[in-house]
Amino acid sequence: MNMKKIIFDNGFRVILNPLPYLRSCSMGIWIGSGSRFETAETSGLSHFIEHMLFKGTDTLSARDIAEITDETGGSLNAYTTKEYTCIYARSLTRHIEKLFSVIGEMITEPLLKESDIELEKGVVTEELLSYEDSSEDLCIDTFYENFWKSDMLGRNIVGKRENILSFDEKMMREHMKKFYVPERMVCVFSGNFNEDDVLKLCEKYFGKLLNTNNPITAGAAQPHRFVKCVGKRFEQNIVTLGFPGIASSDKRLHACNYACAVLGGTGSSRLFQRIREELGLVYSIDAFNTAYLHSGAVCIMMGLSHTNEERAICEVLRLMREFPDTLTKAEFERIKEQTEAAAVMSLESPGTAAARLARGELLSFEAVTDDEYLNRLSSVTFEEFSDMAHTLFDTKDISLCVTGKVKTQKFYRELLAR
């Protein structure tokens, strides 16, 4: 049985990914409402609304939502990213209607009661504080904020405390009226389900929504070079080095991911073997590309003692400079096999498969089959991989963010200039 895409007259899209050998189904709604599409005044609102959806509907209380989820033996959750919000669930096949009906009501009939909003402000503020107490979260959020400082893509998903405290029902309903629209929605069912039944459910809750001609659009966020130090009393410093990367729709994305993995994404990578295994300078080190619509950032993040910073940063820069001209086919074949194996195993999870299909369809109108996705991974050549390494790793265009027991900006600037 093959994946199928259905587009309703109002633009609402449904992806059906039948896996009849299962006895359960993963399902969810992906909505083009994320921090990237907010303003300075509404920053954090998408995430706050995600919280409020669980506070009840016109017919269901927050307790009802929790009890229905538990009595079906399923799971129900949500998350917000820079580009979308997702409400997702998994249940036994016989409970699809009951659990999906909860999702449908949460999205189309949220209660958004002022007393609940005031209560949730405390919860979300605590969540913000937890991020600020995490050296890794604080470092990467600060990096993006300065890297894309002139674009909302750089903003924190949770928002600032003053924004959170200003949210009210009117703001939320106006936001949902603009962004919770069929042309910005994708629904996915992945697992064992009856096609006619799930399409009737989608029609019931989303078929009558009005198309407002507000599709997802985004320009390229302009990257900026910077050095930023955030002093905090952490036991370990976090250092993030970064530079412009590859966007999510770029055909070179897989080659980019391979290059990052060989440099620092696995246990056999050059950075891990040299900086941790041979020199013992770090506890963790990783290289990755964060891809968004028309924008991307390649980052190298490491956790280490402030006393090891200078030597570790210098060694990372040295490895980066020599990396493009010293690549081997053995490294390429190893990471290619590892990536393909990881992809195959992850796609055996119906929830992971659903999320991949939804992201592709929502952001690029391209929900490719598992076979096509794996074919794209395997079709990357060594020449493409090498070209990407030469394109990406230019230490002259590098930015740096440090959190913890930091030194002066001058120190880090001189370090990068060596």
| Residues 130-146 pLDDT 10s | 999 999 999 999 999 99
Stretch 314-323: mean pLDDT, rounded? 96
Stretch 169-174: mean pLDDT, rounded? 98
pLDDT bracket for residue 7 (50, 70, 90): very high
pLDDT bracket for residue 168 (50, 70, 90): very high
Whether the Cβ atoms of residue 237 and residue 314 lie closer than 8 Å to each other: no
Instruction: Find the range with the poorest average confidence among 116-120, 315-319, 364-368.
Output: 364-368
Q: Is the pLDDT of residue 202 over 60?
A: yes
Stretch 309-330: mean pLDDT, rounded? 96
Side chain identity at residue 46, one-letter code? S
Annotated catalytic residue 50: yes
Number of CB atoms found within 10 A of residue 174's CB: 12
Q: Is the pLDDT of residue 1 over 70?
A: no
For residues 366 and 180, which has the higher predicted lDDT (pLDDT)?
Answer: 180
Stretch 204-218: mean pLDDT, rounded? 97
pLDDT of residue 90: 98
Stretch 345-353: mean pLDDT, rounded? 94
Q: What residues contact 258, with CB distance under 8 A and at least 6 apart?
A: 332, 335, 336, 339, 380, 385, 388
Stretch 59-66: mean pLDDT, rounded? 97
Which domains, from first to last, does the chain contain?
4-206 (3.30.830.10), 227-417 (3.30.830.10)
Please, what is the average pLDDT of the chain? 96
Q: Is the pLDDT of residue 416 over 90?
A: yes
How would you label 190-215 residue by residue, b for 16+ Cβ within 10 Å and e otherwise? bbbbeeeebbebbeebbeebeeeebe
Instruction: Find the range with the poorest average confidence among 67-81, 100-114, 389-403.
Output: 389-403
pLDDT > 70: what percent of the chain?
A: 100
Instruction: Find the Cα–Cα–Cα–Cα dihedral 144, 146, 148, 152, rounded to 10°.
Output: 80
Stretch 28-45: mean pLDDT, rounded? 98
Instruction: Choose, from 38, 41, 50, 109, the residue flagged as catalytic.
Output: 50
Q: What count of residues does the chain have?
A: 418
Instruction: Find the range with the poorest average confidence among 227-241, 262-276, 314-328, 387-401.
Output: 387-401
Distance CA 87, CA 57 (A): 15
Q: Is the pLDDT of residue 266 over 60?
A: yes
Question: Residue 223 corresponds to which tokens in the numbers above?
Answer: 């990257």
pLDDT in tens, 358-376: 999 999 988 999 999 999 9
